[in-house]
Amino acid sequence: MAHDDALVHELEAKAKILANDCLTQFCTFSQGHVGGTMSVLEIITALYFHHLKFDPKNPDWAERDRVVMSKAHCCEAIYAALTELGMYPKETLGTYYCYQSPFQGHADRWCTPGIDFSGGSLGQGLSFAAGLALAEKLKMHYNPPSRQDTFLPRYIVRYNPKYRVYCIMGDGEQHEGQVWEAAMFATKFKLDNLIGIVDYNKWSLDGPTNDVMPIEPLVDKWKAFGWNVIEINGHDMRQILDACDAAAHVTGKPTMIIAHTIKGKGVSFMEGRPEWHARALSAEAMAQAMAELGREWMA
């Protein structure tokens, strides 16, 4: 399905608003995982402002699409999205990382309506996401629409799932063994309602991801584990939307979207710089960042 230019421009503008919100918090609180949040913003925007089946007024809706932010240290992107959707007053962004704030340092399902996963320990989200996806299929079994649609792992289930599960992971996270356990599991149980996204921004904490512990060939790995793989530029809104649409039409196997991104994208002095994994912004840096994003920094 072709996405019209107006939608693409609208979502690109929205991504810049989220960038503004995120950077403001990182500056105000002198902490936050800046680089990895900036690299995933377009993906979060595409999901929350267009692609997801999600009702901000009813975050516990049983048939909502679930988002498992396995790289939960970059949850600020989702907090900004939920705030922009009207779920939280704008002032809540000002409580990020604070005691008893709904916007905890790592996203927490049990504190924050709208968050589906308490993350932070890398490598775990895909298993949880697989469980969410499998539950949807098992429930189909208990209430199958017809005698043919019976859930058994051996058979491909052809139906429209009531909801899908999206799991966003980092590239350093691909080092974790549990990711590959979950990969095998999802293929065995034909979890075609599970869509993974790797925010492949090429940097982990100790250096370039492929120096610290090589993950290439990443596309080949996911294909070898039986996943449908789509490779995109993670900052190209049209490619993100096309990939999400394509994944929704795959049956019998899960999809992994490998999104090539730039850590710290959008701000020249941050792009591809490892020191911006987690760092405070000064007011001067903030002003320059805002100018580059085409916005004004109201200090």
Partner 1 sequence: MSERISLREAYGQALLELGRERSDFVVLEGDLSDSTRTVHFARAFPERFLDCGCAEMNMMGMAAGLAASGVLPVANTFSVFSTMKACEQVRTFICYPNLNVKIVSTHAGLDLGEAGVTHQAIEDVAIMRSFPNMTVISPADGIETGAALRAMVQSTGPMYMRLGRSDLPIVNDRGYEFVLGKAVNLRAGGDLCIIATGVTVSAALDAADLLAGRGISAAVINMPTLKPIDRKAILRAARQATALITVEDHSIIGGLGSAVLESLAETPLVPVLRLGLPDVFGESGRPADLFAKFGLDARGIARSAEAFISRARRAS
Which residues would be at the binding site for partner 1 (CB under 8 A)?
A: 109-110, 118, 121, 124, 127-136, 138-139, 141-142, 150-153, 177-178, 181-182, 184-185, 188-189
124 or 239: CB nearest partner 1: 124
Residues paired with residue 197 on neighbouring β-strands, in sequence order? 168, 257
Q: Could you give the CA distance from residue 104 to residue 121 in angstroms, rounded to a whole number?
A: 14
Q: How far is CA 96 from CA 31, 43, 79, 100, 207, in A?
A: 10, 21, 9, 10, 27
178 or 210: CB nearest partner 1: 178
Q: Minimum distance between the CB of residue 225 and partner 1, rounded to whole angstroms?
A: 13
Q: Minimum distance between the CB of residue 61 and partner 1, rounded to whole angstroms?
A: 13
Q: Minimum distance between the CB of residue 169 and partner 1, rounded to whole angstroms?
A: 13
Q: How far is CA 18 from CA 70, 124, 132, in A?
A: 19, 26, 27
The residues, any chain, with a CB within 8 Å of residue 152's CB and separated by 6 or more, are none
Start-to-end CA distance of the chain, whole Å, equals 42
47 or 134: CB nearest partner 1: 134
Query: Contact, 90 vs 193, CB < 8 A?
Result: no
Q: Minimum distance between the CB of residue 111 and partner 1, rounded to whole angstroms?
A: 11
Q: Minimum distance between the CB of residue 64 and partner 1, rounded to whole angstroms?
A: 12
123 or 172: CB nearest partner 1: 123
Q: Could you give the CA distance from residue 61 to residue 143 in angstroms, rounded to a whole number?
A: 19
64 or 265: CB nearest partner 1: 64
